[in-house]
Amino acid sequence: MQPHNTQLGSMAAKDSSVSGAGGGAKASPKTGSTMMSGGEKISCDICIIGAGSGGLSVAAAAAAFGQSVVLIEKHKMGGDCLNYGCVPSKALIAAGKRAHGMRTSAPFGIRPVEPEVDFKAVHDHVRSVIGAIEPNDSIERFTGLGVRVITGAGKFLDRETVMAGEHRITARRFVIATGSSPVVPPIPGLDSVPYFTNETIFDNTQKIEHLIVVGGGPIGMEMAQAHRRLGCRVTVLEGMKALGKDDPEMTAIVLKHLRAEGIDIREGAKVERVDGGLGEVRISVATANGPEMISGTHVLMAAGRRPNLTDLGLEAAGVNYERRGITVDAGMVTSNPKIFAIGDVTGGLQFTHVANYHAGIVIRRVLFKLPAKVDNGLVPWVTYTEPELANVGLSEEQAKAKHGKISVLRWPYHENDRAQAERETDGHVKVITDAKGRILGCSIVGLHAGELIQMWSLAVSQKLKIKAMTEWISPYPTLGEVNKRAAYRFYATAASNPLVRRAISFLKKFG
């Protein structure tokens, strides 16, 4: 078996030194190019279409190992994560958290105040965070790493040639890393009403009086809470169940908190029509109790994402795809063996760390000829509401279906001394093992769940048994103790087991 080196690509992207960086695109010494009447012909080892997290990771790692690399990007370096997704959303969430802390400081002996929110300044905060990270993903940095960066749209002309502007590129291997875009459902009337998506919401500089969020998934719920904490009225419309892909035992705690903060979450509310205009939007919804009309000032469409497949010339390249994404095998290879596809464009789990994981698979296969394969069972995911919701491995329902007899181990935050000191006692750890104690999965809801889940991610990836999670020393007082206490629950019945008691009595005879 090969080790699960999931961070090979991403670590190279972050850690490779920048030498000789400068303005403009410069070809790596190993990249062959010829000027022709129809433009420049370039030959390289690896050609990547898309400079989001996955594409950048492949480019940096390949260049670090001395490969000639061409990277094509038609829009912004850093892709969705840097410009419209993970980075700006977490910056906005952080601003909302500061405002919420000012309102809820009374239990700590501090007089609460209603914060004065300057939405232009919040916008500037979000942009400054993007700006601080931007140099890591810039053209200048990757040029300095020896990557040939081409600004423009890439399109396959045939099974082994890509055209980008006036550049005709042939390569030993190609990687499609074009990501995804927000879905805008064909709702009657929507095309005549201004609305936000995750690509435009962070451009806002004014207070939103009443934000209607269409979609109760992670993006919708994160943005709903952030805006509510910044002083906006918020209504969420979800056609099915809010946070419906997660364990309902855990999501119930999150939704209870969001509702307590004043967010109106309507589940089973199918949007049928949108009317109105800027500053006055009316949404007709069908519910179990009949039709309703929801009025607000702004709309955020958070109804999912679709892979970016348009105008890539996939048919000419012999790459099979469906509406949900490019078809790949466990090694991220498409129907054309010279072409890989990674990240959101493959239609699987849509997370930045998954794109980086895929990048590591590609690097190991292309450079080292290792039979690396993706294992989605190792992928953790986090919803960054407060409380946070984190998961890895199998859920309780999935584990029962696959293994039959399982153990479910829980430990509550309110039994943790650090959680008491922080007054963050809602939530718990939920660990799933098989009958022999092998760790199958974990879910955590509560303060810093996204940090606490990482220990369980390691345990799942290494196929550890629960005993290993009891043999480390946790500093006191930390939230991390909840993980160890949950693990001890596997042995909770040992003290009352007659065999154990008899063994102890026998051993007493030896002094």
pLDDT by residue, tens only, the chain of 511 residues: 333 333 444 444 444 333 333 333 344 445 676 666 567 999 999 999 999 999 999 999 999 999 999 999 999 999 999 999 999 999 999 999 999 999 999 999 999 999 999 999 999 999 999 999 999 999 999 999 999 999 999 999 999 999 999 999 999 999 999 999 999 999 999 999 999 999 999 999 999 999 999 999 999 999 999 999 999 999 999 999 999 999 999 999 999 999 999 999 999 999 999 999 889 999 999 999 999 999 999 999 999 999 999 999 999 999 999 999 999 999 999 999 999 999 999 999 999 999 999 999 999 999 999 999 999 999 999 999 999 999 999 999 999 999 999 999 999 999 999 999 999 999 999 999 999 999 999 999 999 999 999 999 999 999 999 999 999 999 999 999 999 999 999 998 666 667 766 776 777 778 7
Question: Distance of alpha carbon 111 from its chain centroid, rounded?
Answer: 36
- Both 117 and 214 in one domain: the answer is no
| 356 in the same domain as 226 | no
Please report which residue ranges of 117-183 form alpha helices under DSSP H.
Answer: 119-133, 139-144
User: Does any domain span residue 42?
Assistant: yes
Same domain, 32 and 106: no
What is the domain-level CATH number for residue 450?
3.30.390.30
User: Measured between alpha carbons, how far is 154 from 156 in angstroms, rounded to an integer?
Assistant: 7
State the DSSP code for 462. T
Domain check: are 435 and 351 in the same one? Answer: no
Q: Is the dihedral of CA 90, 96, 102, 105 positive or negative?
A: negative
Is 501 within a domain? no
Helix 481-488 and helix 449-461, axial crossing angle in degrees, nearest 10: 50
Question: Residues 175, 38: one domain?
Answer: yes
pTM of structure: 0.91
User: Does residue 133 form part of some domain?
Assistant: no
- Answer whether 63's CB lies under 8 Å from 147's CB: yes
287 domain-assigned: yes
Considering 345, 373, 401, which residue would you say is the last residue of a domain? 373
Domain count, the chain: 4
The SS3 of residue 360 is helix
Residue-range definition of the domain harbouring residue 449 = 387-496
| 201 and 112 within one domain | no
Last residue of a domain, which of 281, 303, 325? 303
- Quick one: which H or E segment has residue 32? strand 32-36
264 and 393 share one domain: no
| Same domain flag for 57 and 94 | no
CATH of the domain at 291: 3.50.50.60
**Residue 379 belongs to a domain:** no
Query: Does residue 487 share a domain with residue 407?
Result: yes
Q: Which two tokens stand for residue 14?
A: 């972050």
Q: Clarify whether residues 56 and 173 are in a common domain.
A: yes
* Same domain (yes/no): 320, 177: yes
Classify residue 378: in a domain, yes or no.
no
